[in-house]
Structure 1
């Protein structure tokens, strides 16, 4: 497994949080049960898991500026 620096993890976390926010806004415009809605729902879930895992790896030292 690759070791990432604290700074790399924090930058990745910022990017994932930003993209997740955009997806959460976009999903509101999609028809429920459409293919696009399903895909975006799964992406949002994956982003939330990623955020949680990165925060866990950082040991809750998350500083987003």
Structure 2
């Protein structure tokens, strides 16, 4: 696995946080149970996991 600088990880964390926010804003507009809604929920969950892993790597947890 490649090594990432602290700055790389911090930038990725900001991008992930922004994407989570955008996804959460769209979520109420999608019909619950639709494929798009399910995909969005799974995407948000994956981004939250990625964020937690980056925070752990940075020692922020």
TM range (shorter): over 0.9
Which structure features the higher share of helix residues? 2
- Name segments (4+ residues, structure 1) moved above 6 Å: none
Q: In the aligned structure 2, how far is the partner of 1:19 from the partner of 1:25?
A: 10
Structure 1, unaligned runs of 5 or more: none
Q: Give the TM-score of the pair, scaled to structure 1.
A: 0.90
Structural RMSD (CA): 1.1
Question: How does the TM-score come out when normalised to structure 2?
Answer: 0.96
Aligned length: 61
